[in-house]
Homo-oligomer: A and B are copies of this chain.
């Protein structure tokens, strides 16, 4: 581990210990100081960002990517406003999740506590640097930020401004750290920093996330890869099905909760597929269909990869299935466990679909686009977990916490082995 990395990681760990016990007020105050500092020093940020944009141009980055990278004063003000919104959210730390008095009189409480040090690995957009730091700070966590090298100048200034701002508050300035270095090595160091980093959250494309999951010895929360399905059941209201399909695909094609495949029950294929193809074509969507879809119109032939891929574009795969169970089997085989929707009038069909589809979110007669921390009312979101441990689906502030059991007695002693089943009391096994 390089000295540079060890230095920031230890600083983050130390800051995390100071930050964890702080109540809400000083954390909110610190967030507002950060927001003000970002606005008052916007010129510095825009100047540094210009260097990143210039290098990106020389490097031949696409205009789309350059636009995601660019910060102007208006965008900096929007970032600052987002920080103020985080300050306005309730503090998850200290919430009593469970609590009761045990038969022996012990008062048992399960409290939310911060995770500690959260490592964030992300791409492109420098606003994530501030968003992620703010969410982690609000939930009592220190942050180790490893953004894209393409935004290094911007991120360096943004982190310096946040640290300068914190220096005047009760929150330790070390609570926000930028991982030094532009090489892949710094990502590897983050993934190997077990004991210094409590959790890693990679936010980006499938390849980034998979490499982190494979190589990290630090616990990882996978986010953001979405191969979402819309299944049109035999009992579907077809007008409604067309609208849900269109909204799921075209309302914002570039995001993880957009639909990438639609499945149609054979019983309604004759009427629904032609309507769907026409409606999608009218929105400029290219359909990659299997043979049974192709029978109804002009589509690009779909191969295996079309059902596995996350297009993030105006493309959608399509297939006809013979039953709800076949639709579920397709989703289990090709899906990413993000969000899958059924359109049906049948209570029985919706019950079966919800029970059998093993995804973070299941939508019934609604667009897949609603799987979102904002839409769910979380107020903020650090990403959408597609794994089963710890957090599944949109992650708000509570998902950035762990828990602690506290029990209070007055000299309570344990007598007898209690009613332990398969406990660690099994000889520390």
A contact set with B: CB distance below 8 Å: 17, 20-21, 68, 82, 85-86, 100, 102-103, 106, 108, 110, 113, 115-116, 122-125, 127-128, 131-132, 135, 194, 198-199, 203-205, 213-214, 217, 219-221, 223-224, 226, 237, 240, 243-244, 247, 251-252, 254-257, 310, 312, 332, 350, 354-356, 358-367, 369-377, 379-384, 387-390, 392-394, 402-415, 417-429
Across-interface contacts of A116 in B (CB, < 8 A): 358, 388
Extra 12 A-B pairs, beta carbons < 8 Å, given A350-B408, A362-B405: A85-B421, A102-B376, A125-B429, A194-B214, A223-B424, A252-B425, A360-B405, A369-B413, A372-B423, A374-B420, A380-B422, A390-B390
State the Cβ distance, A325 to closest chain B Cβ, in Å. 11
A407→B372 CA distance, assembly (Å): 12
A421 touches B312 (CB 8 A): no
Across-interface contacts of A367 in B (CB, < 8 A): 412-414
State the Cβ distance, A85 to closest chain B Cβ, in Å. 6
Contact of A420 among B115, B251, B373, B390 (CB under 8 A): B373
A371 touches B405 (CB 8 A): yes
B21 touches A423 (CB 8 A): no
A414 touches B198 (CB 8 A): no
Q: Taking each of A226, A332, A379, A426, which has the highest tally of chain B beta carbons within 10 Å of its own beta carbon?
A: A426
Q: For the complex of A and B, list the 4 residue pairs with the smallest distance between their C-beta atoms, beginning with the closest.
A: A131-B422, A366-B409, A388-B402, A369-B414
Across-interface contacts of A365 in B (CB, < 8 A): 408-412
A421 touches B381 (CB 8 A): yes
Across-interface contacts of A135 in B (CB, < 8 A): 421-422
B412 touches A366 (CB 8 A): yes
A116→B388 CA distance, assembly (Å): 9
Across-interface contacts of A113 in B (CB, < 8 A): 358
Across-interface contacts of A247 in B (CB, < 8 A): 413-414
A372→B425 CA distance, assembly (Å): 8
Contact status of A421 and B379, CB under 8 A, knowing A199-B389, A367-B413, A408-B364: yes
A113→B388 CA distance, assembly (Å): 9
Across-interface contacts of A423 in B (CB, < 8 A): 255, 372-374, 381, 383-384, 394
Could you pull out 5 A-B pairs where Cβ atoms are within 8 angstroms?
A128-B426, A198-B388, A255-B425, A361-B407, A372-B418
A428→B366 CA distance, assembly (Å): 21
A381 touches B422 (CB 8 A): yes
A409→B343 CA distance, assembly (Å): 10
Q: Taking each of A82, A100, A102, A428, which has the highest tally of chain B beta carbons within 10 Å of its own beta carbon?
A: A428
Across-interface contacts of A17 in B (CB, < 8 A): 332, 356, 358
A134→B379 CA distance, assembly (Å): 40
B381 touches A420 (CB 8 A): yes
Across-interface contacts of A389 in B (CB, < 8 A): 115, 198-199, 219, 221, 389-390, 402
A413 touches B251 (CB 8 A): yes
Across-interface contacts of A100 in B (CB, < 8 A): 377
